[in-house]
Chains A and B, each alone.
Chain A
Amino acid sequence: MTFFFEVLIGGLLSGVLYALVALGFVLIYKASGVFNFAQGAMVFFAALTFVGFTEVLPRWFGLESGSSVVFWLAFVLALASMIVLGIATEKIVLRPLVNQPAITLFMATIGLTFFVEGLAQGFWGATVRGLDLGIGDEPIMWILDDFNMIISKFDITAAGIALVLFVVLALMFQYTRVGRALRAVADDHQAALSVGIPLKHIWAIVWGVAGFVALVAGLIWGARSGVQFALTFTALKALPVLILGGFTSVPGAILGGLIIGASEKLAEVYIGPFVGGGIESWFPYILAMLFLLVRPEGLFGEKHIDRV
């Protein structure tokens, strides 16, 4: 039984990190109805830009490599880069496509994916980098001693950071002026415009916030297994989370992440050996597909009603 709980808790913690990536998709979809296929590439771009700045800042300004000054400067510069990228995307890619079918916008974000991936590697190089956030990736000893379970300090800390981010964003959506404007835009673009909400500004803010979320996700995933192209694949983990949780719900992303994380790990351990193993990549999709049959809009997604 201990082993079962060990797998389950590990899965739940991984699920929070999937939800973090899914959150970037939700933010943009909520505010603009665009399924941003480039979110995975943005995670990669953000992490690579951060690491790139930590490398060049000591050279440019004679700062001590690995110091907290370099860390925070790199963080701010990477965040600024993400905001610039977000605003540029909105202005150059999406704005000219306003009122075009959703599939056109989706295709545009596919193109954006290749551009962002190439831009990141072209600018910072293809070298795989390590990233140390100063959080030890080791078991929490008292849990290991008392329960013989391995729960990583890193995973707990990362999940904590992700949860704080979820809460902050939820509060922002609920209680701030910008949040209310975002919800209004998400509800109905035309109506929001008619009451004087500046749609373009709101979209720029959303893309900026999605960039911030991508940066946090990129740092956590990058610290786990290196800053490399594979970060773009984190988006693949987010898709079943979105299907399950709904494309427009922050709590849905969290719950979806937890369900996907836990179920894929348990499936790998308890079903995997009977089907040759390695089922983590497709099991969440099967689960999400089954879920779609019952509830097409996801756990918290908005029910789609057509007037006939």
Chain B
Amino acid sequence: MKFSFRKTLVAGAVAAGLLATGYAAAQEQFIGLPSYRVGPYAAGGSGIYGGWIDYMQLINQRDGGINGVKLTWEECETEYNNARGVECYERLKTKGAAGNAMFQPLSTGITYSVLEKVAQDRIPMVTIGYGRTDAADGRVFPWVFPMITTYWSQASAIVNYIGSKEGGTDKLKGKKIGLLYHDSAYGKESHAIMDKLAAKHGFSVEKIAVAHPGNEQQSQWLQIRQMRPDYVVLWGWGVMNPTALRTAARTGFPREKIVGVWWAGAEEDTVPAGDAAKGYTAAVFNVAGANYPVVKEIQQHVYAKNLGNMEDKSRVGSVYYNRGVVHGIIAVEAIRIAQDKFGKGKPLSGEQVRWGFENLKIDTKRLAALGAEGFMPELNVTCSDHEGAGVVKFQQWDGAKWNVVSDWIAGDRELVRGMIEESAAAYAKEKGITPRDCSKEG
């Protein structure tokens, strides 16, 4: 057999190239992003995934990755559709040198659709501010992380906030709270906890459903006018929120007495309502603003190099954008912690990253180092507690921007945790799951 010098040279170059590519791939951590940038929920999706990608880009540009491991990602458009979400999950799960490190669908529907798949495929699913509340019980749901604050903690924190406005939760006795909710599983998530809180504090809850999409609320607000509640909790989504604020203004209900949830607390909810939104308050687990050091760093290292993901740069620092940055921070910190255990400078499997999530601790000192002090709450995730914080801040709309009007406010931890454990235990029984013994987890 005879090889020419040229052929040998070419073969050698190809082999070297392949090796180099393999080496490069080995130094990359892949994160699949099941995003939605078109369709009804595109405003939220483009902001959150935009912020998240920008944060990962910051880590790559400023730090050269996590301990030298560059972050790579690929988006898969779900349009917030469950079937597409499952398709994206399947498409993304084997990509990258070590497979997809995590799955964050930003959709409760998709979360439910892949709940059992993630456990089979050993890929952690992180659902920050949505998804299945009882998944906060990590003993039953080891692969799911409904982090920062669940809907139930949020409802409880809202009641505590209203209590603080009245001079203490003991002053809530005899008060009437209207619960204007999106008539869906998401909206009804509020019912059980509000009933329990009402029974505990002695206030009454008037539940008023708004049919999807909620762009007509005349009859609901006329009913509210008849009921004369002291406060209205707005558990809305999408077009329902600005419509609620406009109709409240029209029927003379003071916006200062409306408290929204975090899916009703973005610029997208208030800007379309115009002046009618002035004075409205909403709960958030990340605040708005471009003056936080982490956002400034993104401007400096990402947008200054024209690498930013947001087409509309004025949205940098908005509530949804900053929520995406929070997603990025949590993902990066989990990988960093997992690298400390499983080896720095190499990509990790989903199972290893899951360990990172379960041992995620971001205290005030770390938040300051990340440039995110006050931007998001401290986190302390454990084997049994996949929520990790359970607190929210409140922001008030002044007609042009959100202003923070409270410190981090916790919910009724004992009550909420009891409900979570009860619901998780019922799920475990139904599915034949034996809850983990967290004392044996390393």
Contacts and interface: CB of A to CB of B under 8 A. Distances in A.
Are A and B associated in one complex?
A: yes
Interface of A: 3, 6-7, 10-11, 14, 117-118, 121-122, 125-132, 137-139, 150, 152, 154, 221, 224-230, 232-234, 237, 265, 268-269, 272, 276-282
Contact of B218 (A131, A232, A265): A265
A150 B225 contact: yes
B220 to A, nearest CB: 7
B274 A152 contact: no
A276 B191 CA distance: 12
Nearest to B311: A125
B215 A233 contact: yes
B315 interface: yes
B220 A268 contact: yes
Given A10-B222, A11-B218, A126-B37, A226 B242 contact: yes
A150 B222 contact: yes
A227 B250 CA distance: 19
Contacts of B207: 277
Interface stretch (B40-48, B114-122, B356-364): B40-48
A261 to B, nearest CB: 9
Nearest to A230: B239
B213 interface: yes
A125 B312 contact: yes
B211 A280 contact: yes
B250 A269 contact: no
A154 B311 CA distance: 34
Contacts, number: 129
Nearest to A13: B218
A118 B79 CA distance: 11
Contacts of B268: 127-128, 226, 228
A211 to B, nearest CB: 21
Given A121-B42, A127-B312, A278 B183 contact: yes
B215 A280 contact: no
B212 interface: yes
Contact of B239 (A225, A279, A281): A225
A150 B273 contact: no
A282 B211 CA distance: 9
Nearest to A9: B218
What are the 8 tightest A-B residue pairs by CB atom distance, in nearest-first order? A226-B272, A278-B209, A278-B183, A126-B42, A277-B209, A281-B211, A230-B239, A128-B268
Contact of B250 (A118, A127, A137, A279): A137
A150 B252 contact: yes
Given A7-B219, A131-B272, A280-B216, A230 B40 contact: yes
Interface string B31-68: 00000011111110110000000000000000000000
Given A3-B226, A7-B222, A10-B218, A228 B312 contact: no
B162 interface: no
B218 A14 contact: yes
A232 B40 CA distance: 9
24 contacts: A3-B222, A10-B222, A117-B39, A118-B38, A126-B37, A126-B43, A132-B274, A139-B250, A139-B251, A150-B250, A221-B215, A226-B239, A226-B242, A226-B272, A227-B272, A228-B268, A229-B39, A233-B213, A237-B216, A268-B219, A272-B209, A278-B209, A280-B216, A280-B219
Contacts of B45: 126
A225 B211 contact: no
Interface of B: 37-43, 45-46, 183, 207-213, 215-216, 218-220, 222-223, 225-226, 238-239, 242-243, 246, 249-252, 268, 271-274, 276, 311-312, 315
A11 B217 CA distance: 10
A225 B246 contact: yes
A147 to B, nearest CB: 14
Contacts of A128: 43, 242, 268, 271-272
B167 to A, nearest CB: 31
Nearest to B221: A150
Contacts of A282: 211
Contacts of A121: 38-39, 42
B215 A229 contact: no
Contact of A224 (B38, B183, B215): B215
B8 to A, nearest CB: 50
A279 B212 CA distance: 10
Nearest to B318: A127
A225 B215 contact: yes
B184 to A, nearest CB: 9
A237 B219 CA distance: 16
Contacts of B238: 228, 230
B414 to A, nearest CB: 30
A234 B215 contact: yes
Contacts of A232: 40
